[in-house]
């Protein structure tokens, strides 16, 4: 993994590279490719995500999203990334280190999504293998947590494949697809091996 840093528009615009993927913070220029991929993958993603707002795929909503992302980065609250396949610079998905907690915990939550055309190709595995060291060594976090639905076996396999350990079960943990859903809880701590 190589970490490349550049400063743009007053915010951290980290580029994270590894395993044939590139992760970078989203910008307003990403709207068309993002909206196409999300629309193309809507039926595939909806069972695993919070309910999409009615205007979710509009340019106006995307601009609001980018402003919120920029504020989250400035406030050290969250770090969103879009994931690109290096061979053709195609957007394949996204991941976010959110709910950053400092002080005695130094932890965050990991969320991720991959567009349907790019599922089961190992790209998200490579993205997380590149992102996790960034979380621990550049953002100086000690713990990264993740949660997934009990019936999302692909997500559970992914988390285990990159070194997360199952730690528990949370009843009605997150509101997914319009309903409070139970989740299986996973975590990694700094120093855990990344296979």
The tens place of each residue's pLDDT in the chain, 195 residues long, gives 333 333 233 334 479 999 999 999 999 999 999 999 999 999 999 999 999 999 999 999 999 999 999 999 999 999 999 999 999 999 999 999 999 999 999 999 999 999 999 999 999 999 999 999 999 999 999 999 999 999 999 999 999 999 999 999 999 999 999 999 999 999 999 999 998
Quick check: 2 and 18 in contact, CB under 8 A? Answer: yes
Residue 48's Cβ-count burial label (10 Å; 0-12, 13-18, 19+) is: middle
Per-residue pLDDT, 2: 37
Question: For 155, phi and psi rounded to 5 degrees?
Answer: -65, -40
Q: Which CATH architecture has domain 2-145?
A: 3-Layer(aba) Sandwich (3.40)
Quick check: 143 and 106 in contact, CB under 8 A? Answer: yes
Per-residue pLDDT, 195: 85
Give CA–CA dist 163/84, Å, rounded. 22
Domain boundaries, the chain: 2-145
Helix (H, G, I), strand (E, B) or coil at 92: strand
- Token readout for 44 is 């595939």
Give CA–CA dist 25/34, Å, rounded. 13
Does this model's pTM top 0.95?
no
Residue 49, CA distances (Å) to 30, 32, 149, 176, 180 in order: 21, 21, 10, 5, 11
Quick check: 175 and 50 in contact, CB under 8 A? Answer: yes
């Amino acid at each position: 993994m190589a970490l490349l840093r550049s400063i743009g528009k007053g915010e951290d615009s980290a580029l994270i590279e590894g395993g044939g993927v590139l992760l970078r913070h989203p910008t307003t220029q990403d709207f068309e490719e993002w909206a196409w991929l999300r629309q193309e993958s809507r039926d595939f993603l909806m069972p695993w995500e919070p309910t999409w707002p009615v205007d979710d795929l509009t340019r106006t909503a995307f601009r609001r999203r980018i402003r919120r992302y920029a504020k989250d980065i400035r406030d050290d609250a969250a770090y969103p990334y879009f994931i690109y396949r290096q061979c053709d610079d195609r957007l394949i998905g996204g991941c976010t280190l959110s709910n950053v907690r400092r002080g005695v915990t130094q932890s965050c939550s990991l969320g991720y999504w991959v567009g349907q055309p790019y599922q089961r190709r190992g790209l998200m595995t490579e993205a997380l293998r590149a992102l996790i060291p960034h979380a621990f060594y550049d953002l100086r976090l000690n713990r990264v947590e993740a949660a997934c639905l009990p019936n999302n076996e692909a997500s559970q396999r992914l988390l285990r494949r990159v070194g997360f350990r199952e730690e528990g079960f949370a009843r009605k943990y997150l509101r997914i697809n319009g309903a409070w859903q139970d989740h299986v809880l996973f975590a990694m701590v700094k120093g855990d091996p990344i296979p």
